[in-house]
Structure 1
Amino acid sequence: MTQSATDLTQLCMSLAAILGLVTLQMVLLRRDRHDPINRRFLFCLRITMLLFIGRVAVAVTGVQGFRVLVLLGAAFIPLAALLLTEGLLRRHAPPIAKTIVGAGTAIFVVSAFWYGSGIDPLRLYLLLGFQLCGFFIAGWLIMRRDRASLSASENTTATRIALSLLLFIPLATSDFLMGVLGLPIQFSALGVLIMCWLAIGLGRSQIGHRVVIVNFVVMVLAAGLVAALVGAIAQLDRDGVLLCGAVMMTALLLVAILNDARSLRSEEQSLGLLQYLAKSQTNDPIAFLRDLRLHPLVEGAAMISRKSLAQLQDATLDQIFAAAPVLRRADPPALGALADDHIAHLFDSYSATHVIMVAKSPRVLIALAMPSLHASPLAETELQVVQRMAALMAEQTDQRGRDHE
């Protein structure tokens, strides 16, 4: 494997790590940049970003002076990990742990500006020991936490952080032992991408730990199989197979990060009908539905005219909407030939996909067309909730009218 291929792979992985960190930073800033835990998390991200920016600067310019950024980032990482862990667990680390991490950070920050020829590799080995000590302290605090004092979401976050440390530590260690292990590149970028992926996944609470682990195993196996296949076809040596596997894993993780971030963004910007339900200030079902017509999901919904209903039998309509208050063209109830004719008339007259019963007496029906590509289990559930709320409003209005009489 040529040196140019190795350098290019290292550069691409460092750039991917920066992109993953920037994506996670954007997610945190959208949520709440002033939240204490988010501020600590952002500090971790920016310190790690500093390290990889230094690597990219050295690779692109060839100026070794940019190694100062790398060393500074590496020196601050244990402190950042400890601060984040304290924030997540809502408790202080033991004083001895704070002293070790604080003193080590000060020493290695100062040593980052030392250009003496004899300081490395001793400095790198000592820095490795300091980082491992910092990660061990953070992991120990997480494992020994008082789970009962934390909420379910806080415990989930702590578990994900512990999992990311478990995967990140071996990859970070390999950076310092490249020469000893005979590795072609530094693999810590993969650890950073894993951390970003796990952290962004916290916003999708419906995804449990087991699903995350299974997805990660699938990505590792896919990257390994592709690397082995390419290595066999191209007759690559061990370093070539490692580079191929690293590139594949980097690509898979980056796609997963960007996809999860995009999904979170879509959920945050979603104009779901449930938001309208929560914010509705009216008790008039007609006004309620009129306001909903501005929503893209039900835009163009029309009230079925009395003229159309006059052509149909009330008893049959009662039978139809008792079985399906939200009538779907794709799944009509099986109630006999006469009911089928009535259902077909309603849908054909308004080119509708759904007909919703708002009130029984006087009968109020709403027809709407929802493209099949927009249809989803969530959208169908939202329509059921809309129908139920409108029907309850109509019942309350009717009851108030009877009370006044």
Structure 2
Amino acid sequence: MNGYLVADSFVSIAAASGLLVLIAALRRRHPGEGLVVRLSFGLGVLAVMLASRVLVWWGARFPFNTLTLTAAGLVPLAALLFCEGLLRRHAPKAFKWVATAGALVFAILAWLPTSWAYPWRTIALLVFQLAGFLAMAWLLLARDRTSLSALENRSADRIALSLLLILPLLATDFRFPGFPIPVRLAGIAILAFCWLAQGLGRGQRAHRDSVRAFVAYCASALAAGGAVVLIAGLDATTSIQVLAVCCAAVLLGAIVNDAFELRAEEQRRGMLRLLAQGDLADADAFLGGLRRHAQIDGLLILREAELGDFDRTVLEDVFARHPLLRSGQVGTPEFDEGTREQLDSLMQRYGASHLMRVSIRPLTLAALNMPVLADAPIAQAELAAVQRMAQLVAERRRQLDPAEGT
């Protein structure tokens, strides 16, 4: 099988997959937001272009050749719309006119037979796309930084870095007679853009850390590819193709992994949403939101009837000192043997990894099972905040209705 075809197809499919992962992540985190709509449009145009050209390479020339060229002509306009939204400023009118006119011209030229239009149409498209990306990078780098927040400035820097990375690699996507380029590399730049853009969902990650991680991923991929080249004794052309495939695979894996981690973080933030949006009518209603948390495997409210078999004095003393008690704390020397037996029995009876105090009078506990995050410091802090809020809600309810505290 043709090595050029396999390498080009793999890199393009990997880039299209990375774009789809990023679009899904953006729409899930920010549904309906204007900037996300603009970015999704641009990413969708790129995904269509990449997927349709792979179909052309594998023999389905019509209508996918026309679709590929039309989408390619739309790329600078899509990038311009996104940059305007990111900067919250209008681009110069000359940029808008050129991007719009170019998209219309190439939508018409896409219908010309290749035998008539090659190679001048390909050269014109290359110049148009290079000029468009260069103009957008300049627009981002020359912005008024004081008009944007720190996070917005970091976002603009990452996007500009991605556009500048695309420029040298974009030229490899255009092949001309006498210049046999081993593999089209624009897909690598697109994957880098997807990874950097997806990293914006992690506000705690510094820009420098993102660049270092990107360099580490690329270095790992090149090292692995280099080992394959040495083992197989490949020629120069095949070696470049192998290195490109390794880079595309590693970057796509990083994008998918980050998407999974971001989704897990969003699910874990359910406790924070509970604090912000929980039902404050009473403690039972408030803790009901905790039952729907992704990492909580069951939650029970334990009142005097459920605690009747245990020494109330011991429980009151323990939970006065530890409003939130983990199973791992029970075995510490802080508790005597009798107290440990009671706490172990209570946790085993209700299958609990945590016990939290809901109210003091009457003594009410909540038993929940959260084994996956039992030792996560952040989760413990969030759960402690939930416990304190639940106790405040219960005390407020008791003050409004003193009969409930008797």
Q: TM-score scaled to structure 2, two decimals?
A: 0.85
Partner of 2:355: 355
Does the CA-based 8 Å contact 2:304-2:363 persist in structure 1?
Answer: no
Asked if 2 retains the 8 angstrom alpha-carbon contact of 1:178 and 1:185, the reply is: no
Residue 121 of structure 1: CA displacement? 3.3
1:299 matches 2:298: yes
User: Which moved further from structure 2: 244-253 or 343-352?
Assistant: 343-352
Please state how far the C-alpha of 1:117 moved relative to its aligned partner. Answer: 4.6
Q: What is the CA-CA distance between 1:138 and the residue it aligns to? A: 0.7
Distance 1:319 1:383 in 2: 21
Cα pair 1:359 1:394 within 8 Å, conserved = yes
Q: Percent identity?
A: 38
Aligned-residue CA RMSD (Å): 3.3
Q: Do 1:312 and 1:342's aligned partners in 2 also have CA atoms closer than 8 Å?
A: no
Amino acid at match of 2:83: T
| Shift in CA distance, 234/292, structure 1 to aligned 2, threshold 3 Å | closer
Q: Deviations over 1:65-104 (max 9, x none)?
A: 7433332222221122112111211111112323333343
| The 10-residue stretch of structure 1 (104-113 or 345-354) with the greater mean CA deviation from structure 2 | 104-113
Deviation of 1:230 (Å): 0.7
- 1:104 aligns with 102
User: Counterpart amino acid of 2:300?
Assistant: A
Structure 2 runs not aligned, ≥5 long: none
Residues 347, 353 of structure 1: 8 Å contact kept: no
Shift of 1:372: 4.4
CA separation in 2, counterparts of 1:398 and 1:101? 66
Deviations 1:310-335 (A, max 9, x none): 75473x65553343211112134956
- Cross-structure match for 2:121: 123
Looking at structure 1, the residues matched to 60 and 346 of structure 2 have their Cα atoms a distance apart, in angstroms, of: 72
Q: Cα–Cα, structure 1 residues 275 and 22, in superposed 2: closer, same or farther, change >3 Å? A: same
Provide the residue aligned with 1:341 in structure 2: 338
1:6 correspondence with 2:10: no
- Structure 1 range deviating more: 369-378 or 208-217: 369-378
Give, in angstroms, the shift of residue 229 of structure 1: 0.7
* Aligned-partner SS, 1:356: strand
Equivalent residue for 1:385? 385
The answer for the alignment partner of 1:259 in structure 2 is: 257
Name which of 202, 214, 218 aligns with 1:216.
214
- Cα deviations by residue, 1:117-155 (Å, 9 ceiling, x for unpaired): 575434333332222211121111111212222234432
Q: Secondary structure at the match of 2:50?
A: helix
1:14-49 Cα deviation digits (max 9, x unpaired): 222222222223334435564332332232123222
Cα separation, partners in 2 of 1:230 and 1:285, compared to 1, 3 Å: same
Give the corresponding residue for 1:83.
81
Task: Indicate the residue corresponding to 1:226 in structure 2.
Answer: 224
Q: State the AA in 2 paired with 1:247.
A: V
Structure 2 Cα separation of the partners of residues 393 and 13 of structure 1? 55
Aligned partner of residue 262 in structure 1, secondary structure: helix
Shift of 1:54: 3.1
Q: Verify the 8 A CA contact 2:297 2:370 in the aligned structure 1.
A: yes
**Aligned pair partner of 1:140 in 131, 138, 141:** 138
Q: 1:331 to 1:170 in 2, by over 3 A?
A: farther
Task: Specify the alignment match of 2:53 in structure 1.
Answer: 55
Change (3 A) 1:144 1:385: same
The amino acid of 1:229's aligned partner reads A
Cα drift, residue 384 of structure 1: 0.7
Say yes or no: does 1:189 pair with 2:187.
Answer: yes
Distance 2:334 2:89 in 1: 67
- Mapped to 2, the partners of 1:335 and 1:374 lie a distance apart of 20
Q: Secondary structure at the match of 1:327?
A: strand
- Give the match's secondary structure for 1:202: helix
1 CA distance for matches of 2:60 and 2:347? 69
Tell me whether 75-84 or 224-233 shows the greater mean CA deviation: 75-84
Is 1:44–1:77's contact at 8 Å kept on the other side of the alignment? yes
Q: How many residues align?
A: 401
- Classify 1:285/1:225 alpha carbon distance in 2 versus 1 (closer, same or farther; 3 Å): same
Instruction: Flag the 1:290–1:96 CA change in 2: closer, same or farther, 3 A.
Output: closer
Does residue 1:237 correspond to 2:251, yes or no? no
Structure 1: runs of 5+ lacking an equivalent:
none
